[in-house]
Amino acid sequence: MRQAEVIKGCLKNDRKSQYELYRMCYERFMVVCERYQTDKMEAESALNSAFLKILSNLDKYSHQFPFDAWCRRIIINTNIDIYRNKKRSDFIVSTPDYSRISDHSNVENYDHHEFEAEDLMAMIRKLPDGQSKVFNLFAIDGYGHKEISNMLDMSEGTSKWYLHEARKNLKDLIEKSRLKKNNPAYGK
């Protein structure tokens, strides 16, 4: 079924079209939810919430934008909403000025074929909540620090600090992973 037909069917509350749309969302965006949530169950729960939002707002979708991008934005926002509700009280209340921290301090080259996607996902999940959310939003989903600071209710400096820390931690995790691959006895 073509995407336009699926959308049209969903607008008429056609169950088959809704199923098709859900299937499409699942295959394309489950990976996004998995990046933001701590396990598959929570990711699925987030995806379902996001899907219901997509479904109930389908009439507001403007065809001049790519449908995938529209869905992706809703899915990311839903994940951030869930995170913000859960962890609102855990955020740093007073933050030092991290605004001078550079975003581009790392110059080492990495080959993405060196690691499996599952390994990379596991590394992101090992990061503290704030760091993983900022890293996901900035490095993978392409949001700027200003947008991130609005979404996560923090200052731009704090967002930069989280990104800096996330990169540092990920670098360590990559090194450890490399050592483990080269020397299976590592860490035992």
Partner 1 sequence: MENNIDKLFREGLSRKGTPFNENAWDRLVLPEQERSRRIGLWWWFGIAAIMFGLIVLANYMIQESHIIDDPVKKEFATISDEQDKSNYDSPESNINSESSTISREDENLISNVIPGSELNTTAVINEEQEEDPPIVIDINKIKVNKKPIHSDLTLDDSAISAENELPEDETIIKKESIVDPRALVLISPLNNPDLYLGSYDRIWDNRLSDEYRIEPLKGINKWVIGGLAEASHIGSLGGGISLSWKGSSRIFFRSAILYKYQSEDDRLIAVERISSYGFGRSISERQFRSQHLHMISIPLNVGLSQGSWDGYGGVRMDYLSGVRGTVSVDSESSVTSVNSWMKEYGYNRFSLDAEIGLMKNVSRNLGLGLRLGYQFLSRYNVDYFNNSNLQLNNKRDINISLQLQYDLIR
Chain contacts with partner 1 (rule: CB under 8 A): 13, 18-19, 22-23, 26-27, 30-31, 34-35, 40-41, 44-45, 47-49, 51-53, 55-57, 74, 77-78, 80-81, 84-85, 88, 103-104, 106-112, 115-118, 120-121, 124, 135, 138-140, 149-151, 153, 167, 170-171, 174
DSSP string, 7-53: HHHHHTT-HHHHHHHHHHHHHHHHHHHHHHSSSHHHHHHHHHHHHHH
CB of 4 to partner 1, least distance (A): 21
- Please list, residue by residue across 144-170, b when 16 or more beta carbons sit within 10 angstroms of its beta carbon and e when fewer do: ebeebbebbebbbbbbbbbbbbbbebb
Output the smallest distance, CB 120 to partner 1, in A: 4
For 23, counting Cβ atoms within 10 Å of its Cβ (0-12 exposed, 13-18 middle, 19+ buried), the class is exposed
Distance CA 166, CA 130 (A): 9
Distance of closest approach, residue 7 Cβ to partner 1, in angstroms: 16
Nearer to partner 1, 171 or 180 (CB): 171
Nearer to partner 1, 16 or 186 (CB): 16
Nearer to partner 1, 123 or 188 (CB): 123
Distant-in-sequence, close-in-space partners of 48: CB < 8 Å, separation ≥ 6: none
Q: What is the closest distance, in whole angstroms, from the C-beta atom of residue 105 to partner 1 in the complex?
A: 8
Q: Which amino acid is at 183?
A: N
Q: Which is nearer to partner 1, 112 or 188 (CB)?
A: 112
Question: CB 22 → partner 1: shortest distance, Å?
Answer: 6
